[in-house]
Chains A and B, each alone.
Chain A
Amino acid sequence: GSDEEGATTETTAAGGTETTAGGTETTAGGTETTAASGEGKKGGTLRVAVVGSTNDIIDGQYIVAKPDQFRLVMGWEPILCYDSDFNISYEHALAENVETVAADHYIITLKSGIKWHNGNPLTADDLIYSFERRLDPDLGLAPALSQLLDVSGLTKVDDLTVDIKLKQPAVTFLNGLAEYTATIVPKGYTREDAEQIGTGPFKLKSFTPGAESVHVRNDDYWGGAPLLDEVQIIDFADAAAAVNAFTSGQVDAIMDLPYAQAEAVKGNGDLTLMVSEAGSWLPITMAIDQAPFDDVRVRQAMRLIPNREQMVQQVLSGFGSVGNDMYGKLDGSYPKDLPQREQDIEAAKALLAEAGQENLTIDLFAPDDTAGLPEMAAAFAEMAKEAGVTVNVKVLDGGTYWGEQYTKYTFATSFWGTRPYLNQVAAGSLKDAVYPETHWPPADSDFADKYAAAIAETDQEKRYALIKEMQTEEYEDGGNIIWGFNNLLDAHANYVMGLEARPNMLNLDHFGRGMKRVWLDV
């Protein structure tokens, strides 16, 4: 199976909602984020190991597998971005300013003087084309965005300014603009272009799926020329081969270091381990309208079964934090005051008995293409035994698992990236969500109405009040068992300078924002 955890997921961080009210404020040009910023030696080639396959792609606005993220970040930049506190920022972004006129009306102004790799200037036409491309139903790049926007809502104001009218109010729109896939590509761009043009710090020199991509310095980069001559992103067939290459010095850094190697890297004076907290999670999903989970007591019992500490130890080797059946970890609205749910086998048994499900036997489905999910299911099954529940783990191949049956399973496993609460609700917790895995909300619930109100509410306090009600309902009755959040684990040789371990949404310090300030101390 592959471990493109977070693959095909637009990742967004929490906290972004803070800036929506006063989104006009900017903190342009701040460079203090990179510890080793300022000077550094010029030149050299950085070689990074990733686990990839012939299935990998390069697209300025889309990814399939995890290495694609890296390659995207090297060449293309988003409209907005987050700073290290997960506040919306303009630092690494192409927009000079995004003005929130109303919850359904925004005006984007681009920074001036930015040039494409081919020397042409970045203009509003490119921005409009980029939205159009993401909305193209044939390409299917951004289904969530299509719910908010269609092409008729885009109006060019001047060479650097575009006016946007949404189909409905959605304060989450700004978060969408800060996703790393919300990039601007040059007008007429396609994935098949021989020359892949972006605004990023490195230009693509060559790409062979399953083998490597080579990126060379963009000397005309608007933020100042990067230091490295060249970045090679090298595909390895499996993590073991990548680790061997890393420890024997054939590459300088590795994305997604296997947990097992963390100790070895830590103990090696020549290597630096990067542990970055993230907001991604691996839930066990219960379809709340299907037996036996149509009985809320069964759902509650299931949530009392896992020993969450142990799950974090076992599935994540301790590289993660305990979850409380609640997502949106990095969002400002995350309900830290809800009591931490603990394992309670007796209570679970009692609930099951009440529901008449003492000797429950049930199939739990997992895909073979996502590392950790089958094992997580197995660990859960082992714990369920104690409560008298027989869980049979059924592993399906990825193609089948994510096919027609997906979102129809009664009891299954899934993965999600880091998102603010409301964005995640739109993605997974509504009847018309993109992936309604748990079939939430229940028929008699006003959850959907509250969501509609919250998303249109520009006042943060009021919005948070609404969100709190929604969270409480999901916490009590919901269909997700969220036992923990995983960290990102990367490593590099000591001579690689300019990468910092901090809470993040993407590996390798958000790939060093395109490795623009990374240098080699050799």
Chain B
Amino acid sequence: MGILKLVLRRLALGVLTLFVVSLAVFLLSQALPSDPARAVLGREATEENVAAFRAQYGLDQPMIKQYTTWIKGLLSGEPGVSYSNGEPIMDFLGDRIKNSLFLMFMGSLISIPLSLLIGSYAALRRDKTFDNANSVSSLILAAMPEFVLGAFLVVLFATNVWNIFPATIRIRPGEPPWSDMKGMILPLLTLTLAVTPYVSRVVRASMIEVLESDYVEMGRLKGLPERTVLWRHAMPNAIGPTFQVMALNVAYMAGGVVVVESLFNFPGIGLAMRDAVRDVNIPVVQFLAMFISFIYVITNLAADIGTILVTPRLRTRLS
């Protein structure tokens, strides 16, 4: 009951967040000085073409009307049609969303356990060789912008030095995202290298705090084996604070895949977003903005619930 109430409250907050974001997205796209009709139709377009375009996509309607139509569409699962080819957005984004979600899922699947492992091990070996080496190398990795990292990986593994992995990924339309796992390797590697350092640093910090706590020392004074102290006494307490960071990183991946996707020609929402922004394809921009915010809200919600579940203090307060 208690959890349910809290989840509902968070959910309400999430809905509020999405509402405010939708307003912002809408107003921002209204403020675009560039005329989408012109941008889409190109310099060939005649005045009539432009007028027809505006009528077709309801751009001649009053703002409030446009907003409510849009929101209604979003809620009913029909977020509108793309300006560039008149196709329903979901038709041509559906696959891309699947692809990007798969990329994010795989990225998290690799980077989260990896950062937990690295972070805890560094905490255990605090100020020893592994910790120092890890701290410096993770710092360098974290500090390097992804595009630099990715470009180096391509030169190293795909084109100039060793030609072992494909330089770009090719997921054919209609095929599942795992149809080119070999091509997945470099994008995943880039993403993992970009995300893991940050999370593992947070895990390390959180783990160190726990390892220094009185109850861990007490565990040792009770004569428990180090293994038990670590996995039973330290881990459950260290993991709670890292949920937020993991969530933040999943959300980051959602918004930040643009770079990775353009490096590896990955057919995902990041590229769609870049195209849509360049082509002033407003319905697509709006939809993607909402989608990414949605992911953010959902992962945060999941992190909140996760934190509560592993933290008895929070869990029991509710019941």
Contacts and interface: CB of A to CB of B under 8 A. Distances in A.
Chains A and B directly touch (beta carbon < 8 Å): yes
A250 B49 contact: no
Given A55-B279, A210-B271, A399-B34, A241 B45 contact: no
Contacts of A402: 38-39, 42-43
Interface string B253-293: 00000000111110100011011101111001000000000
A426 to B, nearest CB: 15
B159 interface: yes
A140 B281 contact: no
B168 interface: yes
B92 A208 contact: yes
B158 interface: yes
B78 interface: no
A244 B34 contact: no
A244 B158 contact: yes
A1 B275 CA distance: 10
A210 B166 contact: no
Contact of A241 (B46, B82, B163, B262): B262
Interface stretch (A73-81, A118-126, A231-239, A335-343): A231-239
Given A54-B272, A397-B34, A402-B43, A244 B280 contact: no
A410 interface: no
Most buried by A among B173, B261, B281: B173
B172 interface: yes
Nearest to B52: A138
B214 interface: no
A234 B170 contact: yes
A460 to B, nearest CB: 31
Given A241-B168, A245-B265, A8 B43 contact: yes
Contact of A8 (B39, B44, B46): B44
A212 B279 contact: no
A248 B52 CA distance: 45
B43 A54 contact: no
Contacts of B267: 210-211
A277 interface: no
Interface string B25-56: 00000000111101110111110110010000
B244 to A, nearest CB: 32
Interface in A1-23: 1-2, 7-8
Contact of A143 (B33, B44, B275, B280): B44
B66 interface: no
Contacts of A249: 163
A244 B167 contact: yes
Contacts of B264: 241
Nearest to B183: A250
Nearest to A369: B278
Most buried by B among A137, A208, A211: A211
B191 interface: no
A288 B137 CA distance: 61
A237 B262 contact: yes
Nearest to B160: A247
Contacts of B163: 248-249
B154 interface: yes
A268 B159 CA distance: 13
Interface residues of B, number: 46
A208 B272 CA distance: 13
B258 to A, nearest CB: 10
A399 B170 contact: no
Size category, A interface: 35 or more
B261 A237 contact: yes
B contact patch SS: loop
A57 B84 CA distance: 9
Contacts of A143: 44, 46
B85 interface: yes
Given A248-B159, A248-B166, A435 B43 contact: yes
Given A399-B34, A400-B38, A245 B168 contact: yes
A379 interface: no
A209 interface: yes
A357 interface: no
Nearest to B38: A403
A290 interface: no
Nearest to B274: A237
B166 A140 contact: no
Contacts of B261: 237
A244 B168 contact: yes
A55 B281 CA distance: 9
A53 B33 contact: no
A107 interface: no
B260 to A, nearest CB: 11
Nearest to B87: A209
A244 B45 contact: no
Given A247-B159, A400-B34, A400-B38, A241 B173 contact: no
Nearest to A236: B265
A64 interface: yes
Given A64-B42, A236-B168, A247-B167, A54 B265 contact: no
A437 B84 CA distance: 26
A54 B84 contact: yes
A401 B125 CA distance: 59
B48 A2 contact: no
A54 B96 CA distance: 11
A495 interface: no
Given A211-B172, A245-B167, 20 more contacts: A55-B275, A138-B48, A138-B52, A140-B44, A140-B46, A209-B92, A210-B272, A236-B168, A237-B265, A241-B167, A241-B263, A244-B154, A247-B159, A397-B280, A399-B39, A400-B33, A402-B39, A402-B43, A403-B34, A406-B43
Give the 7 A-B CB pairs with smallest separation, nearest first: A399-B39, A244-B167, A399-B34, A208-B173, A403-B38, A402-B43, A241-B265
Interface of A: 1-2, 7-8, 53-55, 57, 64, 137-138, 140, 143, 206, 208-212, 234, 236-238, 240-242, 244-245, 247-250, 369, 397-400, 402-404, 406, 435
17 contacts: A1-B278, A53-B278, A54-B92, A54-B275, A54-B281, A55-B279, A137-B46, A137-B48, A138-B48, A211-B172, A236-B265, A240-B263, A248-B163, A249-B163, A397-B34, A397-B39, A406-B43
